[in-house]
Chain A
């Protein structure tokens, strides 16, 4: 719910002229000499004078600041070192800049407002603004399964994928060794024990002990991982199977790998990387794979390697969303349903809430307080749980809805495209009418009674009063909320995912979309963040489309707010 705050009060605050500026504060900051009395808060002027009156050395506040900054710096330096070790230069640079900025801001005497704004701005910049910009960037790339990293990473992946056991290579008795979190292999190469890790090629060590079968059982500086650990720890097993220890500094010598953790053999890649011509050559067949502009290595006769890197592809993702036969049809249906869902949800829940508010905004009805509490129960119940609860109740076999209200008939509420759509609107109505009931009740009580009275005297009927007086007045305060609510429901992932999971699936479609998917749940399915084939590029392109829609809605909201206020 955090996303859609666009109440008109907020809008006004930003556009209306600010509070009158205090005299003497608009000019240059720090006008020395003026007595503290005339100081008004502003212009980043620190009140040196008044401060001096009671200044008694660095007080507790300063010590607390020092302590906090020490902790911040310690954590920052730790993170910077960690980024350095991992070789993530961008992250490193950003961390350094942020940490330096923090120290300057909090130890300098100027920039007072920034002292208050900085922490929030850091999070805003990294986790919201950056992600928005990054979404825009990814939308124009082919980032996704098969295009997951840079070209170098793709080369590495291609070399590894093409690795095969070298024929006639000996198999060495092998032990998995561990030093903290680092894993390595110790092999017995005809009496000489060699140890290596992913980064360090095999090197002979002295002082190792081997057992009768030749397997190293004790090596200096390393802990030999017991075989039982390998059998019981699936995660460790996986790491061991993926571990490659280069035989020597020369890549063409291959590397040691193991399948079961007790014998190792030499694997080497059938591909060869030539950095000068940026081509991969298959040493067996002689095929040359060269990079194309779509982030793939392609051979002369069009054969593509699985590993690719991501490259900018322009508007491809957008074009694909509209023209690709696999996507275009389902996405069009999803888009139509997204608008229908947002609009219908707001209309039904607003209508029902307003109706209830008008009915029960009547002092003659007793027990209003109890009634109101029960009526807003669905709103106070966490939304994701309500959706799951209804999912169970609507189960066609065991659900109580069929059992109680439809005489045990097996109506397939969640399996039929139209019923599922109806059910989503129904449940969302249950969830959201209390909000509109509360808002409308508040708004109704704020309406002037003399206008309706005058209308009544003039002979206006109830309907006429409602249409010509109550509703227009009510819309002034509720229209922005209705637009915000539409924007919220436009992206209401939770209810769709929890209730139907987007299903029932489109029959015969090759993409994992269904007839109740809205754009955001479709993006979730396409993005593959939860597993499966990932297409970050297309998903981000769709996110951009959603952003544009939201932007238009917000702009309309602003105009609407102003227009209504002019009445």
Chain B
């Protein structure tokens, strides 16, 4: 869309082909196109290759160098004979629950910090800021030992329980998201709450019926970030989920490729296509919001 505007705003750029103009165009704009080609190649060729491998019927890494030699869905069908769909289900369940819980807890905490003035508020905010700097993943040994102990008392929270993994992820929910949401909650005028209170609304009504609908954008971003974080987490999932039928995609697909790289390659590629397309689509469509959220703090590799 914006592509047309330069032409109109700089009339007669390359259109009047005087050699001097053309040289200047090449020096200032033209060279950017070949460079863009190189960048596009660097960015996209691994993904194109993965798509080609997914559609390759041989299904092994050997000889998959020729792009789109065959177009077959054998690999996608073969996924049905593996645990792949179980892992997809596990990933959705764990990621979905962790994201939902993170949103609920984060929103409640952000609301409390934003709307109430209570003793220890400043201290708890600072405390949260400090705690969230120390990543849970580095304390994985303690997480592991904690879950062993918990599992002896309450088996549902032990090693190899998806519920336990969700709880571990929720442990990081407050620290990671409160500030993101806190800032957003502060932008909602407090007068709205006051007006509702005068009209006799209860606390619950103000929170659920008035404030929550107004902060939906940040809820969506936090939910998506939490989902992507648990989707991509390997170390905690690997430690907690020991049984194959409980694995998430990250753990399961690692096992395919690390053990028999050459034979499961097509399966991996097909699985990667299926698992990443929704994430890819979601990410690209919500790009603007996510980047906003990312630049206010979190970073991926």
Question: Are A481 and B299 in contact (CB-based, < 8 A)?
Answer: yes
**A261 → B minimal CB distance (Å):** 25
Question: Are B136 and A380 in contact (CB-based, < 8 A)?
Answer: no
State whether the Cβ of B135 lies closer than 8 Å to any Cβ in chain A: yes
Partner pick for A527 among B140, B178, B197, B265, CB 8 A cutoff: B140
Question: Are A5 and B297 in contact (CB-based, < 8 A)?
Answer: yes
Question: Are B133 and A431 in contact (CB-based, < 8 A)?
Answer: no
Q: A42-B117, A439-B295 are in contact. Are A384 and B254 (CB under 8 A)?
A: yes
Q: A50-B198, A127-B167 are in contact. Are A14 and B10 (CB under 8 A)?
A: no
B contact residues around A505 at 8 Å (CB): none
Question: Are A3 and B142 in contact (CB-based, < 8 A)?
Answer: no
Question: Are A524 and B140 in contact (CB-based, < 8 A)?
Answer: yes
Question: Are A360 and B36 in contact (CB-based, < 8 A)?
Answer: yes
State whether the Cβ of A333 lies closer than 8 Å to any Cβ in chain B: no
Task: Output the nearest chain B residue to A365 by Cβ-Cβ distance.
Answer: B32
State whether the Cβ of B20 lies closer than 8 Å to any Cβ in chain A: no
A contact residues around B129 at 8 Å (CB): 6, 10-11, 14
Encode contact with B along A52-90: 1 for CB under 8 Å, 0 otherwise: 011000010100010000000000000100110010101
Question: Are B235 and A493 in contact (CB-based, < 8 A)?
Answer: yes
Question: Are B300 and A123 in contact (CB-based, < 8 A)?
Answer: no
Question: Are A128 and B44 in contact (CB-based, < 8 A)?
Answer: no
Partner pick for B171 among A21, A83, A126, A345, CB 8 A cutoff: A126
State whether the Cβ of A399 lies closer than 8 Å to any Cβ in chain B: yes
Q: A11-B129, A371-B40, A524-B140 are in contact. Are A21 and B117 (CB under 8 A)?
A: yes
Cα–Cα distance between A557 and B35 once the two chains are bound (Å): 35
State whether the Cβ of A428 lies closer than 8 Å to any Cβ in chain B: yes
Q: A388-B268, A428-B301 are in contact. Are A3 and B176 (CB under 8 A)?
A: yes
Question: Are B146 and A134 in contact (CB-based, < 8 A)?
Answer: yes
Partner pick for B139 among A43, A51, A135, CB 8 A cutoff: A135
State whether the Cβ of B226 lies closer than 8 Å to any Cβ in chain A: yes
Question: Are B283 and A380 in contact (CB-based, < 8 A)?
Answer: yes
Question: Are B132 and A543 in contact (CB-based, < 8 A)?
Answer: no
Question: Are B295 and A540 in contact (CB-based, < 8 A)?
Answer: no
Task: Output the nearest chain A residue to B239 by Cβ-Cβ distance.
Answer: A529
Question: Are A392 and B138 in contact (CB-based, < 8 A)?
Answer: no
B contact residues around A383 at 8 Å (CB): 232, 300-301
Partner pick for A543 among B63, B139, B253, CB 8 A cutoff: B139
Question: Are A46 and B203 in contact (CB-based, < 8 A)?
Answer: yes
Task: Output the nearest chain B residue to A90 by Cβ-Cβ distance.
Answer: B149
Interface SS of chain B:
helix
* Interface-lining segment among A224-232, A240-248, A484-492: A484-492
State whether the Cβ of B298 lies closer than 8 Å to any Cβ in chain A: yes
Partner pick for A43 among B117, B150, B178, B258, CB 8 A cutoff: B117
Question: Are A116 and B29 in contact (CB-based, < 8 A)?
Answer: no
State whether the Cβ of B68 lies closer than 8 Å to any Cβ in chain A: no
**B216 → A minimal CB distance (Å):** 18
**A414 → B minimal CB distance (Å):** 10
State whether the Cβ of B65 lies closer than 8 Å to any Cβ in chain A: yes
Cα–Cα distance between A40 and B116 once the two chains are bound (Å): 9
Question: Are A120 and B106 in contact (CB-based, < 8 A)?
Answer: yes
Cα–Cα distance between A383 and B205 once the two chains are bound (Å): 41
Q: A9-B296, A124-B174, A362-B32 are in contact. Are A404 and B234 (CB under 8 A)?
A: no
Question: Are B272 and A385 in contact (CB-based, < 8 A)?
Answer: yes
**B287 → A minimal CB distance (Å):** 7
B contact residues around A384 at 8 Å (CB): 232, 234, 250, 253-254
State whether the Cβ of A495 lies closer than 8 Å to any Cβ in chain B: yes
**B248 → A minimal CB distance (Å):** 10
A contact residues around B284 at 8 Å (CB): 373, 376, 380
State whether the Cβ of A461 lies closer than 8 Å to any Cβ in chain B: no
B contact residues around A131 at 8 Å (CB): 136, 139, 142-143, 146, 171
Q: A40-B194, A377-B43, A491-B137 are in contact. Are A398 and B61 (CB under 8 A)?
A: yes
State whether the Cβ of B244 lies closer than 8 Å to any Cβ in chain A: no
Encode contact with A along B110-122: 1 for CB under 8 Å, 0 otherwise: 0110011110011
Question: Are B205 and A120 in contact (CB-based, < 8 A)?
Answer: no
Encode contact with A along B232-274: 1 for CB under 8 Å, 0 otherwise: 1111001100000000001001100110011001001100100
Question: Are B235 and A432 in contact (CB-based, < 8 A)?
Answer: no
Q: A116-B111, A491-B135, A550-B134 are in contact. Are A123 and B145 (CB under 8 A)?
A: no
- In the complex, given contacts A116-B116, A395-B261, what are 16 additional A-B residue pairs having Cβ atoms less than 8 angstroms apart? A4-B297, A7-B295, A11-B129, A41-B197, A44-B116, A112-B118, A126-B167, A128-B139, A360-B36, A375-B39, A378-B46, A382-B276, A398-B64, A484-B298, A487-B133, A529-B239
